[in-house]
A and B are shown apart, each in its own frame.
Chain A
Amino acid sequence: MSLPIRKFDTLVIGAGGGGLRAALQLSQADANVAVVSKVFPTRSHTVAAQGGMNAALANVVPDNWHWHMYDTIKGSDYLGDQDAIEYMCRAASHLVIELEHQGVPFSRLDNGKIYQRPFGGQSQNFGGEQAARTCAAADRTGHAILHALYQQNIKAKTHFFDEFFAVDLLKDKNGFIIGALVLEIETGEPLLIEAKTTLLATGGAGQLFRTNTNAKINTGDGLAMALRAGIPLEDMEFFQFHPTGIAGRGMLITEGARGEGGYLINKDGERFMERYAPHAKDLASRDVVSRSIATEVREGRGCGPNGDHVMLKLDHLGKEVLDKRLPGICETSRTFLHIDPVEEPIPVFPTAHYTMGGIPTDRFGQVVVPVDTGEEPIPGLYAVGECACVSVHGANRLGGNSLLDIVVFGRAAGNHIIDYLDANRYHHAIDDASVEKAMAHLQRWDKKGDGESVPELKDELQTIMEQNCSVFRTQDVLQECLNQVLQIESRLQNVRLKDHSKVFNTARIEAMELENLVDIAVATVTSALNREESRGAHSRIDFTERDDNNWLKHSLFYKEGRRLEYKPVRMKPMSVETFPPKERVY
């Protein structure tokens, strides 16, 4: 099969904050870098992040990286790897300042220092008073970071393949990853990109669930590509449900709304978070608040004709504060719900938001897999950002830690790749068999005839996941969920496209995205079914307690045979003492 080939030192798949930060590090070191993105880079999902990015700058109240580290570990319900968390929290302040130099206009305090807002799960002095650790560029932090990094990459001469869809990873004869088969969306033509190093930065998989806060492009493509290449996915049972998505619609009402003084009420008008988290109340960790809302609804204290949501009350903050501090969510509510938060509360419910699990990596961004009793990096393969599991978020991510994660580990991976390229100067030949396999995957969608439709099947998958694998889970329901997902997997074989045109064929891309979602659904439900404990975002009604004796370990799901393995949590930080697991109280 003769296909056009382009060769680069590094192929970066994904142009969100993670991919762009890594690419910048590389281009500035004169590596020859290609960045592939299915949408124009500045339309990547990072653009949606409004709340901000955590760093213990101590500009508003006392703070330091060690407290940030503690909060992150506690937030992770002790499943986070403590070496990676220490690395991230220590690097944070430096990276905020670096971003500012790269052009991100962080908001200011009156004294000229960077403004910081309080977010959930942040404390001073290891669990004491609320901290204020989130740096923001008004309510468009992600946008500012993405645009700044894109401009810097253009300046550094990174090569962009805009609107190219990565289909599958390619291998050499020894099974090492050496690039990817990509599809030019405009022409529908395939292209092989061969690279000495490949970095996956394809973002999360929020589209797994019917109601979610994510853009439609968040279909976890990189996760599924990894699975198909034989790489396991780590901790996929941990999916974050954000407490305040607009009920039934999904749009995010930022945690900043509660940071500014908004609070949740049930149908009796009760501020119920006082019961669940007497100290932190509405600013307890996300998993805690989401569970509390779901419990209120399950116990009959939900609002609305179906009692299926609670309300976020903001009117007491007054029009001036709302218009100044939270203009975005006010507009969202007015436009989509015809509800003005200045007068009425907003209906909210826990909504699928963030993929804590992902492609297993170490703190250099290298993809790692178990070998004998330990683990080893796969030479030349990297992953960063929401598609990776490094694991700094463990069982539950804190708000403001993801923007931090993507720049910290984007940069770290860039640096590691520079060293790798120094020691590995030559391209390896592509194994034809891997090209044929990837092409077969692509050409499968050329089959004509009658069959089920992609949007209908996607809808079914999302509904099954939402109903059976969300905030509260049980053995029976998860087992039934798995059966249903596996049926969808087999029905996928009968799906046919009606549109076989080449130019901007959105239907074909959506079909491949659905395939990816199905693979990820199987990984998520299987991992959830096996974990017989409650930890962070994974709450089992039949195993209500955290069980450190048996389950203080990471899951690894392999596509082949739907096999699960486990590996220990890295409890030893780089330089400080371990934070041993404690009961989590907010």
Chain B
Amino acid sequence: MTTETQTDNKEQARLRWQCRRGMLELDLFLQSFMDKAYENLSPEQKQTFSVLLETPDQMLLDYLTGRVIPYDKDIADVAKKIRLAAGPDA
């Protein structure tokens, strides 16, 4: 029997791999977010984070640096959280 935590752990493991990208900037944004802030997302936001990770790298970089604001408001909110978690002290 698979418990909820097991499914959760597997999902986190999967997401952690999806955070390995082709650019240093994305690694910095995503991996530190995964380490520090992912846990604090609501279940819906966690779902949105997973959808956001499907974005191609250059577009994702535009979202995370704020150069482009995603059309979907939920995605835009999560992207903003990731951006704010970066910065000089991250």
CB pair B20 A43 closer than 8 Å: yes
- Measured in the bound complex, the distance between the Cα atoms of B66 and A501 in whole Å is 36
- Measured in the bound complex, the distance between the Cα atoms of B27 and A504 in whole Å is 17
CB pair A335 B87 closer than 8 Å: yes
CB pair B24 A143 closer than 8 Å: no
CB pair A506 B17 closer than 8 Å: yes
- Measured in the bound complex, the distance between the Cα atoms of B22 and A39 in whole Å is 8
**Majority SS of interface residues in chain B?**
helix
Q: For residues 56 through 97 of chain A, which have their beta carbon under 8 Å from a beta carbon of chain B?
A: none
Partner of A217, one of B22, B64, B87, B88: B22
CB pair B56 A251 closer than 8 Å: no
When distances are taken between beta carbons in the complex, the residues of chain B under 8 Å from A45 are 22-23
When distances are taken between beta carbons in the complex, the residues of chain A under 8 Å from B66 are 331, 335
CB pair A143 B17 closer than 8 Å: no
Number of interface residues of B (CB under 8 A): 29
How far in angstroms is the closest Cβ of chain B from A89?
27
Per-position contact with A for B27-52: 1 when CB-CB < 8 Å, else 0? Answer: 11001000000000000000000000
Given A332-B25, A335-B83, A43–B65 Cβ distance below 8 Å? no
Interface flag for A116 (CB, 8 Å):
no
Q: For residues 58 through 90 of chain B, which have their beta carbon under 8 Å from a beta carbon of chain A?
A: 58, 61, 64-67, 83, 86-88, 90
CB pair A163 B21 closer than 8 Å: no
How far in angstroms is the closest Cβ of chain B from A341?
13
CB pair B24 A250 closer than 8 Å: yes
Interface flag for A147 (CB, 8 Å):
yes
Given A216-B27, A335-B87, A504-B10, A47–B22 Cβ distance below 8 Å? yes
Partner of B17, one of A327, A332, A504: A504
CB pair B16 A504 closer than 8 Å: yes
Interface flag for B1 (CB, 8 Å):
no
Q: For residues 320 through 344 of chain A, which have their beta carbon under 8 Å from a beta carbon of chain B?
A: 327-328, 331-332, 334-338
Nearest to A509 among chain B residues (CB) is B17
- Measured in the bound complex, the distance between the Cα atoms of B83 and A505 in whole Å is 27
CB pair B16 A214 closer than 8 Å: no
When distances are taken between beta carbons in the complex, the residues of chain A under 8 Å from B22 are 39, 42-48, 146, 215, 217
Interface flag for A503 (CB, 8 Å):
yes
Most chain A CB within 10 A, of B17, B61, B87, is at: B17
CB pair B24 A503 closer than 8 Å: no
- Measured in the bound complex, the distance between the Cα atoms of B61 and A476 in whole Å is 42
Interface flag for A319 (CB, 8 Å):
no
Interface flag for A492 (CB, 8 Å):
no
Given A39-B20, A43-B22, A216-B31, A338–B87 Cβ distance below 8 Å? yes
Measured CB to CB, the residues of B under 8 A from A are: 9-10, 13-14, 16-17, 20-28, 31, 56-58, 61, 64-67, 83, 86-88, 90
CB-defined A-B contacts under 8 Å, sample of 22: A43-B21, A47-B58, A48-B24, A185-B17, A215-B23, A216-B20, A216-B27, A217-B21, A249-B28, A251-B28, A252-B24, A327-B67, A334-B65, A335-B64, A336-B86, A336-B87, A336-B90, A337-B88, A338-B87, A503-B14, A504-B14, A506-B16
Measured CB to CB, the residues of A under 8 A from B are: 39, 42-48, 140, 143, 146-147, 163, 185-186, 212-217, 249-252, 327-328, 331-332, 334-338, 501, 503-506
Q: Which 5 residue pairs of A and B lie closest in terms of their CB atoms, listed nearest first?
A: A47-B22, A331-B65, A504-B13, A48-B23, A143-B58
